[in-house]
Amino acid sequence: MSKLLFIETLGCAMNSRDTEHMIAELTEKEGFVMTNDFKVADLILINTCSVRERPVHKLFSELGGFNKHKKPHAKIGVCGCTASHLGKEIIKRAPYVNFVLGARNVSKISEIIHKDKAVEIDINYDDSEFAFKDFRSSPFKGFINISMGCDKSCTYCIVPKTRGDEISIPDALIINEAKRLVSIGAKEIFLLGQNVNNYGRRFSGEHEDVNFTELLRRLSKIEELERIRFTSPHPFHMDDEFIEEFSSNPKICKSMHMPLQSGSTKVLKDMKRGYSKEWFLNRVNKLKTMCPEATISTDIIVGFPGESDEDFEDTLDVMKTVEFDQIFSFKYSPRPETEAQYFKNVVDEELASSRLTFLQSLHNEIMDKNNAKLLGNTYRVYFEDLHSDGHAAGRSDNNIVVKVKGSEELLGQFRDVKITAIGRTILTGEIVA
Ligand code: SAH
Ligand code: SF4
Ligand code: F3S
């Protein structure tokens, strides 16, 4: 009988990729087979996120549930960003946990499962050239890490403490991985890093000078590769050369994530984001001028310490000016090991909540207005998902999610789709070619 592995993944795309790496190592080296039911699993892993407080609370209640209902000899491992930041504290609070593996130590997964009460959370550990085994959750597109860690010091953010300093992965490894993905049928790659456009700043060994724009150029030479996406670029590093390559290279998908965080130059300074409201708007302007078809998404934090009504107005002002196609908005959550946890002028919880609600309802209006303009347009859609209601779904180059009536034979295919009905998160269309 095979050993069964259950993994729950919280957090961002980097965690999803780490999960794929762990699955690959455990299935290929250790003979595990995946299960969706933790009650029958021999090994239960939870890949955690600590960017806000809520998921950390959730971790301990979930661990309690795993422990109560698991098979008697099943092991439980806590991996990812909360593992990095709480370390052995996790075993203190939940003594039945067998091991703790930090976000920077994923390559050690097949060793640590054989140990008990082991804690591997060294954020200086260098995985950047580790040759992971391979597992892909989608045959149609593949995530590729291009860097690990983060060299910024945004005052609200715990990520540099959980993932360590930024190291770029050599471009030859990235290109080989992209080629391999293409050879097994993927037409789209998704490049991942906390600051993708800071790529090339530091490699772990000697390496020629390759910046992100050059990496994009090199990747786009892979013949059968049709689409390149990436996240997250940092507004500070959006130089002209990068925006020009983005706009003119037909393989780069025309959807840009521009994490604003706040529209107030004062708050941005307190956050140590390295750009002003004016710089952000200038970059958006350049992008919209060079590439009018690009959609723009963003991340916004409301209720950062010291955020006044005027500061919040600045954020609303940027929202109205840019008309973001998609926003991910959060109430500020104080995090351990960050500067901002000590900041005075904490914004009242209720005020922060009402700002968030207001921001989100303003964005819904913007989205409804933007979406209404899409009716009747035709997009080239790459199909990658099946819905249970007889629809297949995919994305346009500029990241519009569209579903059409259809089944398996559409998966992995490009089709021209005309939009026939509008919805908030997904549009409906019909295939025209
Ligand atoms: N490297 C990416 C962000 C990674 S974290 C970037 O710089 O854009 C993802 C998002 O979580 C951030 O963009 C931010 O909006 C949000 N976030 C990070 N720390 C937070 C905190 N302490 N409270 C609330 N939201 C936070
Ligand atoms: Fe966090 Fe800032 Fe790094 Fe993004 S750039 S991961 S927000 S420290
Ligand atoms: Fe990602 Fe959460 Fe870690 S957002 S980098 S999994 S703290």
- State pLDDT tens for residues 268-286: 999 999 999 999 999 999 9
Domain boundary among 253, 268, 301: 253
| Domain at 228, CATH number | 3.30.750.210
On the question of pLDDT at 15 being above 90, the answer is: yes
- pLDDT for residue 155: 98
Which amino acid would we find at residue 153?
S
162 lines ligand 3 (CB under 6 A): yes
Number of folded domains that form the chain: 3
| Domain at 43, CATH number | 3.40.50.12160
pLDDT digits 0-9 by tens, 120-164: 999 999 999 999 998 998 999 999 999 999 999 999 999 999 999
Å from CA of 125 to ligand 1 middle: 23
| Domain at 421, CATH number | 2.40.50.140
Residue carrying structure tokens 């790496």: 21
For residue 48, being part of any structural domain is answered with yes
| Token pair of 116 as six digits | 């008990």
* 206 and 236 inside one domain: yes
Cα separation of 317 and 284, whole Å? 14
* 171 and 95 inside one domain: no
- Give the distance, in angstroms, between the CA of residue 293 and the centroid of all CA atoms in the same chain: 23
For residue 343, being part of any structural domain is answered with no
For residue 266, being part of any structural domain is answered with no
* 104 and 17 inside one domain: yes
For residue 394, being part of any structural domain is answered with yes
Task: Average the pLDDT over 101-129 and give the result.
Answer: 96
For residue 425, being part of any structural domain is answered with yes
On the question of pLDDT at 54 being above 90, the answer is: no
Domain boundary among 198, 225, 253: 253
Cα separation of 405 and 393, whole Å? 9
Residue carrying structure tokens 């301990």: 60
Å from CA of 156 to ligand 3 middle: 13
* 159 and 225 inside one domain: yes
Å from CA of 149 to ligand 2 middle: 9
**Cβ(282)–Cβ(320) below 8 Å:** no
- pLDDT for residue 425: 84
Cα separation of 75 and 96, whole Å? 8
Å from CA of 51 to ligand 1 middle: 7
For residue 330, being part of any structural domain is answered with no
pLDDT digits 0-9 by tens, 355-364: 999 999 999 9
Query: pTM surpassing 0.75?
Result: yes
Query: Domain of 408?
Result: 378-431
The residue whose CA is least distant from atom 1 of ligand 3 is 12
For residue 198, being part of any structural domain is answered with yes
* 150 and 243 inside one domain: yes
Cα separation of 285 and 355, whole Å? 26
154 lines ligand 2 (CB under 6 A): yes
158 lines ligand 2 (CB under 6 A): no
Q: For residue 266, how many other CB atoms are within 10 A of its CB?
A: 16
For residue 94, being part of any structural domain is answered with yes
Task: Average the pLDDT over 283-299 and give the result.
Answer: 98
170 lines ligand 2 (CB under 6 A): no
150 lines ligand 2 (CB under 6 A): yes
Rg of the chain, C-alpha, whole Å:
22
Å from CA of 90 to ligand 3 middle: 17
Name the percent of the chain lying above pLDDT 90: 96
* 108 and 169 inside one domain: no
Confidence grade of residue 56 (pLDDT, cut at 50, 70, 90): confident
Residue 199, helix vs strand vs coil: coil
| Token pair of 324 as six digits | 């973001």
Closest CA to 18 of 124, 182, 148, 118: 148
- pLDDT for residue 268: 98
159 lines ligand 2 (CB under 6 A): yes
* 10 and 103 inside one domain: yes
* 159 and 100 inside one domain: no
Cα separation of 152 and 201, whole Å? 12
362 lines ligand 3 (CB under 6 A): no
Ligand 2 atom nearest to 157, measured from its CA:
1
On the question of pLDDT at 57 being above 90, the answer is: no
- pLDDT for residue 306: 98
pLDDT digits 0-9 by tens, 258-269: 999 999 999 999
- pLDDT for residue 424: 83
* 91 and 193 inside one domain: no
51 lines ligand 1 (CB under 6 A): yes
* 108 and 148 inside one domain: no
* 115 and 143 inside one domain: no
* 30 and 106 inside one domain: yes
| Token pair of 347 as six digits | 């914004």
On the question of pLDDT at 1 being above 80, the answer is: no
164 lines ligand 3 (CB under 6 A): no
149 lines ligand 1 (CB under 6 A): no
Å from CA of 396 to ligand 2 middle: 28
Ligand 1 atom nearest to 328, measured from its CA:
15
232 lines ligand 1 (CB under 6 A): yes
